[in-house]
């Protein structure tokens, strides 16, 4: 696997080795020993989640606080999304900044999001099947979020936000200046 460090401490892009021939392809989507050895990621994942969404759906920006904080290993099985994170770690040199990457079933890129980031994505293809591993269990009482279109972030989601499909909850997240602290 090829691991690329970003300027955000702990945020990593992982490109697995793909073996393809006339029959299709094969790749190892997760191997804890390889991931730890090659990327330094030593998360013990305890929950897997999957979401199917259609073009124009925007999910986020979500995070878990306190003892329920989660690191995530995200990937797209089919379709394409614009995956976006915002660093909410006050001690981080990239605090309040966002990072975005295109993930797709075609590129098979994986994205490791450490604890302390808000996370979301916008669906760019007709449909997308989004899959992620978490190192902590979901806890509704520890849920937080920040407004996806907060001017403090200036995120280009690469979709028309006036027609974006959002949950009622995602429409009501507070501005960055008013979000719940992650720790």
Identify whether 30 is a catalytic site residue. Answer: no
Q: Which of 62, 119, 173, 179 is catalytic?
A: 62
Name the residue range of residue 151's domain. 2-177
Residue 170 has pLDDT above 90, yes or no: yes
Identify whether 132 is a catalytic site residue. Answer: yes
Residue 161 has pLDDT above 90, yes or no: yes
Q: Does 183 reside within a domain?
A: no
Q: Which of 63, 132, 148, 179 is catalytic?
A: 132
Residue-by-residue DSSP string for 26-42: E-----HHHHHHHH---
Mean pLDDT lowest for which of 13-22, 63-72, 79-88, 106-115?
13-22
Domain of 83, CATH number, reads: 2.60.120.10
Q: Does 138 reside within a domain?
A: yes
Contact 105, 19 (CB under 8 A): no
What pLDDT does 28 receive? 79
What pLDDT does 164 receive? 97
Q: Does 182 reside within a domain?
A: no
Q: How many domains does the chain have?
A: 1
Whole-angstrom Cα Rg for the chain = 16
Higher local confidence (pLDDT), 163 or 41: 163
């Amino acid at each position: 696997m090829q691991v690329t460090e970003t300027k955000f401490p702990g945020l990593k892009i992982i490109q697995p080795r793909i073996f393809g021939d006339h029959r299709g392809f094969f790749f190892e989507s997760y191997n804890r020993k390889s991931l730890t050895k090659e990327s330094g990621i030593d998360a013990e994942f305890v929950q897997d989640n999957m979401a199917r969404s259609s073009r124009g759906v925007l999910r986020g920006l979500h995070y878990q606080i306190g003892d329920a904080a989660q690191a995530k290993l995200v990937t797209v099985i089919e379709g394409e999304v614009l995956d976006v994170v915002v660093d909410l770690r006050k001690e981080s040199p990239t605090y309040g900044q966002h990072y975005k990457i295109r993930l797709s079933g075609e590129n098979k890129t994986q994205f490791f999001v450490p604890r302390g980031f808000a996370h979301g994505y916008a669906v760019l293809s007709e449909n997308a099947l989004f899959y992620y591993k978490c190192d902590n269990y979901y806890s509704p009482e520890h849920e937080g979020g920040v407004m996806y279109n907060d001017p403090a972030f200036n995120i280009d989601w690469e979709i028309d936000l006036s027609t974006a499909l959002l949950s009622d909850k995602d429409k009501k997240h507070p501005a960055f200046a008013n979000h719940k602290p992650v720790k």
